[in-house]
Structure 1
Amino acid sequence: MRHFRLPALAVAIVLTLAACMAPTSREVRAVDDEPLLDKDWRLVAAPDGRNLPTQGAGAAMLRFSAARFSMTGPCNTHGGSWSRNGDQVKLGGEEGIFSTKRGCPGELMKRESELLGALAQPLRAEFSGTQLRLVSADGTRWTFDSQDVPTSAGRERIVLVSGERKPCSGVGAMQCLQVRTEPGAPWQNYFGEIEGFSWQQGIDYVLRIREYTVANPPADGSSRRWVLEEVLDRSR
């Protein structure tokens, strides 16, 4: 029987091809496959399970590019570098997370402070359908969703409500809520009540409401219909 000996170069080629075909445990992930990129991740739930606004006042949205991330809300704008290794995510890098210094009502600032405190820690990313959960070492988890927000008939606003009512006139004499949409602006009469809101004398409120337009308001009613979404602050 004759034996054939392969040239050294041919042997090298065969061994290289065999190595390429062998199974490997190393994951190769294309940049286009990074699930965090180029989506609007809207904050939808807090660690206590409470659902949060996905647009308007008090909403927060997280977005990732190749090397940087940005977040708007719940009050300020934030950003920095980021990295991901498997399910481990680090936001802020060596320089930390930067934020603007805008002031907002107490509840929004509290929520933002808790959220930033969590995001500054090493995080674990959990994906489920359209949702992303960022989980810190102590188990605190914030839930984001990448689904588009449906258009609503109303719009969200922040309003201040005084702890004192003032006399006003509709069909007859009445006591109107005093409201304003900007700090320092003149108080204005609000004819009617804010749906879902229990007013108490002597307490000033900051509310997040949804405003609807009333096509044919009664003579003693408002052309605006306000529905309470969240009490952001209260003070005496």
Structure 2
Amino acid sequence: MAEIKITRTSDPRADRCGERRLRGRPQVRPDCETRQLIYEAARHEFSDNGYAATSIESVARRAGVSTKTLYRLIPKKAALFAGMTSDRIERFLSEINLESIDHSELDEALFAALMACANLALDKEVVALQSMVLQEAGKFSDLAGAFYRNGIQRAVKALADWLTAQQKRGLIEIDDAEEVAGMLLGMVADAPRRATMFGGVPLPSRPQIEARVRRCIGIFLRGYRAA
């Protein structure tokens, strides 16, 4: 069976911070840990209230930090949104490691890869954020660009890198890995996401996502599996 290896550290925040608290000294929280609290609070505030109605003060209250601390670490709301989306995708990319497998397991490997991406693309809060971006991008010109660069495009790049590795092993034949990755993610997520955002349809259940991914794989491999 193909597998996704999930690599988790015993304390991810400690690893990201690269800091160790010394014995006998007051335990002062590192800035990187405080940023994680802020990004998590911002994710909920933006999702619940929209960009315009979210304030630095409301994020600080939800994060349990002072407004002064938040402004010191992240001085503008636009930077807060960009950092929050970047942090969300960083967590996704750091926890998912698609291992290369042999030819006989290509179908299952592709299934694992696309399910990992679908878990992000069809996440309830991610879809809510994308809906918010579409609604408010006209008033805040940098909003859509930040979401695209820090979220959508990085997920496409991660899948494109995996596809490139499979091409180098002779398992598939593709011309443009990023274009193909975008097509695959579009087949998997775009229609269900649009139905939710514009039609009020509930996001698909996991069995429904799995069935959709299987159908997309069949279409893809008919055109791109190496002879």
Give the structure-2-normalised TM-score.
0.21
Q: Determine which structure has the larger helix proportion and give its number.
A: 2
Q: Which has the higher contact order (CA 8 A, sep 6+)?
A: 2
Larger-gyration structure (1/2): 1
